[in-house]
Amino acid sequence: MALTQDILATYKGPGRVVSCFLAQGRNEVRALLFVLIAGVLMFIAVTPYQAREAQIDPDIPFEARLYWSAFFYILILPILIYLFALVVWGLARIARRKITGYEIRFTLIWALLALTPVTLLMGLTAGFIGPGIQLQAVGVIWVAVFGWFWVSGLLSADGASE
C-alpha cells in the first residue's frame, strides 16, 4: 500500500495500520525513514509561519529561520523522539508491559507521520491567520489526533506482543 493510503487508513483505524506494519517484522530502516519524512513534512509545515515572522520581525532573516527550523525538525527531532521512546519503554518495563522498544518507537513515529495533514493545516493557520483562537483550535485538534493515533498504536502493539 502507498504511504499516503496508509496515512488515510490511519484516520479510519490507527490500530489496524500499526498492526499491519508491525506484522511485517522489525524494520529499523523503515522507522528511521518515516521519522525523517515526518521531520521534512513538519519543516514544510512551519515554513509559512516562518515567512510571516520574518515579515513581522526582519531582524532575523527568513533564510536563518528556515535553517534553524530544518536543523531542529530534521536532525534534533528524531533524536528527541528516540529519547522519549526510551523513557516510555522504561515506564513500560516498570508497568510490566511486554511491548518492545521498537514497537514504542514505531508507534510514536507513525503517529507523527500520519498526523502530517493536521500539522500542515496548523502551519497554514499559523502562517496565514497567525496566533489566535483558530490556531489554538487546530492545536487542540493536533494534540487529540496525536493522542488517538499513538494510544491506539500502543494498545495494538501491546496486544500483539502478549
Rounded-to-integer distance, Cα 79 and Cα 34, Å: 13
Per-residue pLDDT tens digits for 70-96? 999 999 999 999 999 999 999 989 988
Q: What is the pLDDT of residue 158?
A: 78
**Residue 15: CA count within 13 A, CB half-sphere:** 10
Per-residue pLDDT tens digits for 1-33? 588 898 999 999 888 998 888 888 888 899 999
Rounded-to-integer distance, Cα 162 and Cα 160, Å: 6
Per-residue pLDDT tens digits for 42-56? 999 999 999 999 999
> Nearest-CA neighbor of 116 among 19, 11, 29?
11
pLDDT at 162 over 50: no
Number of helices and strands (H, E) in the chain? 8, 0
Rounded-to-integer distance, Cα 103 and Cα 80, Å: 16
pLDDT at 110 over 90: yes
pLDDT at 129 over 80: yes
Kindly report whether the global pTM for this prediction surpasses the value 0.75: yes
